[in-house]
Structure 1
């Protein structure tokens, strides 16, 4: 079965190193929490709010050993008034035997407010 794993993280500044480092942190936690192997991933979509322009956060995926051939694409979020600023969101599509309710979605830093009901932080009291 193909399932989506969601995740989000915020950054303090629109700086390339911070954006890529934060994205890597998020990706690693999504992978760890769901026991994901690169070979089981169909693709990864990464979106950013319009205040993140310093670099492509997809660069973080290339830092992960074994993830060279996983397709990844970056895009911009819809600029909704009063939405969470400096936010990076990830949708990872994976082949898994897990049921939807067994997927651990990962929301870190200020992004926990986006889906506190699904947040890994809430599930595990991190």
Structure 2
């Protein structure tokens, strides 16, 4: 078994608490679904947001999900590079898995699909 990183990102329409929480849940649920993982297999989750999203901590959404209360979570601000994507939530899910690196499926939703078109499915 190895620890693998699963990347994901989603954009939200506005700096509003509900949109941030809902977007975080949507992104995490899709990562879990496509990679067939369960919270028990998660080593930790790093959550970053762009500086324009300060209405709430996205990790609040994850903490409220069933069976996720023991998963270590950390929120941070994304590096503010000029011209970079706005209103973006990113996740780095570290998972204990037998899956190979090539079998990991990264998830990019909404406007964040433009970040990694090579990994984004239509």
TM-score by length of 1: 0.94
Aligned equivalents of 1:50, 1:64: Cα separation in 2:
25
Aligned residues: 121
2:79 is matched with which residue?
Answer: 78
Aligned equivalents of 1:93, 1:101: Cα separation in 2:
15
4+ residue stretches of structure 1 with deviation over 2 A?
none
Unaligned 5+ segments in structure 2 are none
SS in 2 for 1:75: strand
Unaligned 5+ segments in structure 1 are none
Q: Residue by residue, what CA displacement relative to the aligned partner does 1:3-53 show, whole Å, maximum 9, x if unpaired?
A: 000000000000001100000000000000101111111100000000000
1:36 is matched with which residue?
Answer: 37
After superposition, the CA RMSD in angstroms is 0.7
Greater percentage in helix = 1
SS in 2 for 1:32: helix
2:62 is matched with which residue?
Answer: 61
Shift, 1:95, TM fit: 0.4
Confirm or deny that 1:117 pairs with 2:118.
Answer: yes
